[in-house]
């Protein structure tokens, strides 16, 4: 039992080290974090219903997951192929494309969920 608890504790430690590594070293993660904070503040201001919050949280998690996987791919490719190689470039480019696709999808989801209530709120303030 204690071995299981200790191994779970260590697993969380590894995960948090990975989290801090990405946040410390990847500038795009800072951009994603800033965007997530702004989305959360806007959703709070607009008093969105819980199901909209759930969609926003899952969408933000998708972007961060893509960013973290991309960072892992880059690290492994750099380890396996310290010199430039066409396939190493493909691996890194495809990982970056995954982040781009998830960020673009998140932008669309954000516009669909936040756009109408934001437009309504701004319209009521301007009138």
CATH tag for 26-116 (out of 3.40.50.10140, 1.10.287.3610, 3.30.930.10, 3.40.50.800)? 1.10.287.3610
Q: Looking at residue 1, what is its pLDDT? A: 83
CB 110 within 8 A of CB 59: yes
- Residues 70, 94: Cα–Cα separation, whole Å: 9
Q: Looking at residue 57, what is its pLDDT? A: 98
Q: Looking at residue 2, what is its pLDDT? A: 84
Q: Looking at residue 126, what is its pLDDT? A: 87
First to last CA, the chain: 64
**pTM, rounded to two decimals:** 0.90
- Going from the C-alpha of 118 to that of each of 76, 105, 123, the distances in angstroms are 42, 19, 8
Per-residue pLDDT of the chain (127 residues; tens, 9 = 90+): 888 888 998 999 999 999 999 999 999 999 999 999 999 999 999 999 999 999 999 999 999 999 999 999 999 999 999 999 999 999 999 999 999 999 999 999 999 999 999 999 999 988 7
Q: Where are the domains of the chain?
A: 26-116
**Which pair of structure tokens corresponds to residue 71?**
């960072």
Q: Looking at residue 106, what is its pLDDT? A: 98
């Amino acid at each position: 039992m204690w071995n299981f608890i200790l191994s779970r504790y260590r697993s969380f430690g590894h995960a948090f080290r990975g989290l801090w590594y990405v946040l410390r070293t990847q500038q795009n993660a800072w951009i994603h974090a800033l965007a997530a904070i702004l989305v959360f503040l806007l959703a709070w201001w607009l008093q969105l219903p819980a199901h909209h919050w759930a969609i926003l949280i899952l969408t933000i998690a998708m972007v961060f997951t893509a960013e973290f996987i991309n960072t892992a791919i880059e690290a492994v490719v750099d380890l396996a192929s310290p010199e430039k190689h066409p396939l190493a470039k493909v691996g890194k480019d495809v990982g970056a494309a995954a982040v781009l696709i998830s960020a673009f999808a998140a932008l669309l989801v954000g516009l669909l969920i936040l756009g109408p209530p934001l437009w309504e709120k701004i319209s009521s303030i301007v009138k």
